[in-house]
Structure 1
Amino acid sequence: MVTITTRNIVFFMIILKSLIIQSLSKPFIEHKNVINFHKNINHQKLYNNINHQKLYNNINNIHVEKLWIRMLENKKKIRKRSFSKKRNHIVYTNIDFKDLKFRLNILNQKSQIKILNYNSLVHASIESYLRMSNYIEKIISLSYFYFPMFEEKLKKFHLPKELKYLAIIESNLNPFATSKVGAQGIWQFMPETGKIYDLNIIHNVYDDRNDPVKSTEAACRYLKFLYKKIGNWELVLAAYNAGPGTVDKILQRYQNNKKDFWSLLEFFPKETQNYIPKFIAINYVMNYYKEHNIASIYHKYKYKYKDTVLIPIKEKISLKILSFYINIPYKDLIFLNPQYLVDYIPFDNGKFFIRLPKNKIILLKKKNIFLLRKKES
């Protein structure tokens, strides 16, 4: 009797152990399948398959956007620990209207567009930006890379250099920014307008609107066209936001011969009503952030625009493979080349170029890959 009972207990223990092992193994097996799925996404066979290519493109688009968002995160965390130890670090989010008038007047005297004037809407917009000190710090960091290039292009087209601040309002200097209505890139071009200014799109593969250099040239040409047509910088900015057709209709309907934005304010869409105050506000904040105790907690980006060059590619190439060959972080390669929506760059008789740091050209020559000749940027 004792022997039978012992056998039953042993048998029961074996069954219980088997069930426990099975329950523990199942999540691991499922997790393993998920990992393998993501490995397969990069497989060349899947890339060549039309159905899988859409999935591949979507995953890469999400990955690229996350890379841009996280690009400076590690630097932020490192600096933030030491930054938080500083005593009495208080961002001054309020400013007396007399002081603000005085500072705006100084900016306006230096300005070529002469629209940096004070009013209550501008005051409110400035204090709103000052309350977003973390956002301003990131913009300052990105501006070290983008603003020299913006200023170079604006000078080429004989445009006021303070127009560079429009890109902050449009996209927060994010080349991957996409609006609800389909505007894309740092300067937020719609597909139709982009096409007029030679910004080409290859669906799910390539988008010139994301290219900071090409889109900046297009924005300069567009702003020059608007100013020639309208002749008033406040209304030019309003037209950039709402479209020239909207400005034309308002001017014709209300017969405003002075072309005064502020007297027509109530007739513009709500977003456009806030657009010019925001433009003046970001001009102020980017020039006076130190006076409000805002300082960039990010390092300046390690590459400078003037230290990069365009290289034509001579065969289809993966950015991941290229980053390995020339020893450059993948996220840096994407930051310099946001126009490519997928990892693989197509080849079309030297039509496509890649922007690289000049100090990486030697590695390209040594390895004799992906190099035809330099192109001036």
Structure 2
Amino acid sequence: MRIYQIAIASALTILVSIAFACADNGTGDKKSTASISELPPIPKEMSYANEPVPLVNFDTYESLQREIMVNTFWHSQTLFNLMQASRYFPLIEPILKANNVPDDIKYITIAESSLQNVVSPAKAAGPWQILEGTAKQYGLEVNENVDERYHVEKATEAAVKYLSRAKESLGSWTLATASYNIGLTGLKRHIERQKQASYYDLLLGDETGRYIFRVLAFKLILSDPKSYGFDLTKKDLYPPLQYTQVQVDSTIEDLASFAIANKTNYKLLKLYNPWLRTNTLPKNPGKVYTIKIPKEGFRENAYTQR
């Protein structure tokens, strides 16, 4: 047993050495990410939602540097974020623009969920991680059969309403974004207690204290991935889903049969419409649902035609 342990340890040492050598030399694959001997770049100046980030302050600079390093060298997750953004940002960006909300707000979805339909320990759900009570407050339907927190466009509309209200109350998009993590009441309490009006001058808990810097790091990396070692081509990114839409104002007893009738299957129907939470869609008086139907041929040709 001891011999086997030594052999395994030796093999692992060799593999790690090879990995570091490949990361460090300049003759390797062009798509290899930055080596750990190189610090990722930090701009001399930057803004968030058209509001300046005081990088001249050492604490601001170091906080941003920490989040950039974490996400630059967390290769698999950052690659996944880049791929997801290619699919879902085109759905989010027009809604932000239509509501006069800065485009930078979209990076909240990466910080919150990596654009996945996850559920937090506090039961916040969907790409924008919205609590059930907040969802209903901002017009989303949440019940056994339908949960619009998983509807990217509708959840974005709800998030926009919250953030616009928070910005009006707090005076800046930066503070509004911080409140998305800690809550409006909680952030106001810190502002009043510490007598400071800037996020960058507030002493906050670890999660909220890092939150804006995580969003900033995602903005930098996703806006200019090559500078952070991620040399992806268009073919590497997830293509936006292509679909037609069907409006429904009556009960669908069996979504599997509905899918087949629309030349798709239950799996794809749920992939395109994750807000459908069961295998039926009861009629909701006065409401018309819009269901996305996968475009014929897209599944087979999504990558081959790029």
Shorter-normalised TM-score: what interval? 0.7 to 0.9
Q: Which amino acid aligns with 2:169?
A: K
Which one of the candidate residues 100, 103, 122 is aligned to 1:181? 122
- How far residue 194 of structure 1 moved from its aligned partner, in angstroms, is 1.4
Q: Retained in 1: the 8 A contact 2:255–2:280? A: yes
Matched, 1:114 2:52: yes
Q: Retained in 2: the 8 A contact 1:115–1:234? A: no
Q: Which amino acid aligns with 2:183?
A: G
- How far residue 311 of structure 1 moved from its aligned partner, in angstroms, is 1.7
Matched, 1:356 2:292: yes
Which one of the candidate residues 66, 69, 76 is aligned to 1:124? 66
Q: Which residue of 1 aligns with 2:138?
A: 197
Q: Distance in 1 between matches of 2:78 and 2:200?
A: 27
Q: Distance in 1 between matches of 2:161 and 2:54?
A: 23
Q: Distance in 1 between matches of 2:159 and 2:51?
A: 17
Which one of the candidate residues 267, 283, 288 is aligned to 1:331? 267
Q: Which residue of 1 aligns with 2:19?
A: none
Q: Which residue of 2 aligns with 1:262?
A: 200
Matched, 1:230 2:138: no
Q: Distance in 2 between matches of 1:111 and 1:230?
A: 14
Q: Distance in 1 between matches of 2:145 and 2:182?
A: 29
Q: Which residue of 2 aligns with 1:56?
A: none
What secondary structure sits across from 2:51 in the alignment?
Answer: coil
Report the aligned-residue RMSD.
Answer: 2.5
CA shift digits 1:168-200 (9 cap, x unpaired): 1111101x3111111111111112211210112
What secondary structure sits across from 1:356 in the alignment?
Answer: strand
Which one of the candidate residues 244, 248, 273 is aligned to 2:209? 273
Q: Distance in 2 between matches of 1:216 and 1:326?
A: 27
Q: Which amino acid aligns with 1:303?
A: L
Q: Retained in 2: the 8 A contact 1:310–1:354? A: yes
Which one of the candidate residues 77, 88, 99 is aligned to 1:135? 77
- Residues 358 and 185 of structure 1: is their aligned pair in 2 closer, same or farther, counting only changes over 3 Å? closer
- How far residue 285 of structure 1 moved from its aligned partner, in angstroms, is 0.9
Q: Retained in 2: the 8 A contact 1:314–1:350? A: no
Q: Distance in 1 between matches of 2:81 and 2:274?
A: 17
Matched, 1:246 2:182: no
- How far residue 215 of structure 1 moved from its aligned partner, in angstroms, is 0.9
Q: Which residue of 2 aligns with 1:155?
A: 97
Q: Which amino acid aligns with 1:168?
A: I
Q: Retained in 2: the 8 A contact 1:177–1:184? A: yes
Which one of the candidate residues 213, 219, 231 is aligned to 2:159? 219
- Residues 347 and 287 of structure 1: is their aligned pair in 2 closer, same or farther, counting only changes over 3 Å? same
Q: Which amino acid aligns with 1:263?
A: D
CA shift digits 1:56-99 (9 cap, x unpaired): xxxxxxxxxxxxxxxxxxxxxxxxxxxxxx835421155547x4
Matched, 1:301 2:242: no
Where in structure 1 are there 5+ consecutive unaligned residues? 1-85, 361-377
Q: Which amino acid aligns with 2:219?
A: N
Matched, 1:210 2:150: yes
Q: Which amino acid aligns with 1:277?
A: F
Q: Which residue of 2 aligns with 1:374?
A: none
Q: Which amino acid aligns with 1:342?
A: T
CA shift digits 1:91-110 (9 cap, x unpaired): 1155547x4224xx3x53x9
Q: Which amino acid aligns with 1:264?
A: L
Q: Which residue of 1 aligns with 2:301?
A: none
Q: Which residue of 1 aligns with 2:247?
A: 311
Q: Distance in 2 between matches of 1:302 and 1:279?
A: 23
Where in structure 2 are there 5+ consecutive unaligned residues? 1-27, 297-306
What secondary structure sits across from 2:169 in the alignment?
Answer: helix
Q: Distance in 2 between matches of 1:138 and 1:209?
A: 21
Q: Indicate the structure (1 or 2) with the bigger Cα radius of gyration.
A: 1
State how many pairs are aligned. Answer: 262
Q: Distance in 1 between matches of 2:99 and 2:68?
A: 29
Q: Distance in 2 between matches of 1:116 and 1:141?
A: 30
CA shift digits 1:139-187 (9 cap, x unpaired): 222222321221111111101011001011111101x311111111111
Q: Retained in 1: the 8 A contact 2:82–2:237? A: no
Q: Distance in 1 between matches of 2:30 and 2:111?
A: 31
Structure with bigger helix share is 1
- Residues 112 and 308 of structure 1: is their aligned pair in 2 closer, same or farther, counting only changes over 3 Å? farther
Q: Retained in 1: the 8 A contact 2:250–2:282? A: no
- Residues 355 and 253 of structure 1: is their aligned pair in 2 closer, same or farther, counting only changes over 3 Å? same
Q: Percent identity?
A: 22
Moved over 6 A (4+): none
- How far residue 332 of structure 1 moved from its aligned partner, in angstroms, is 2.7
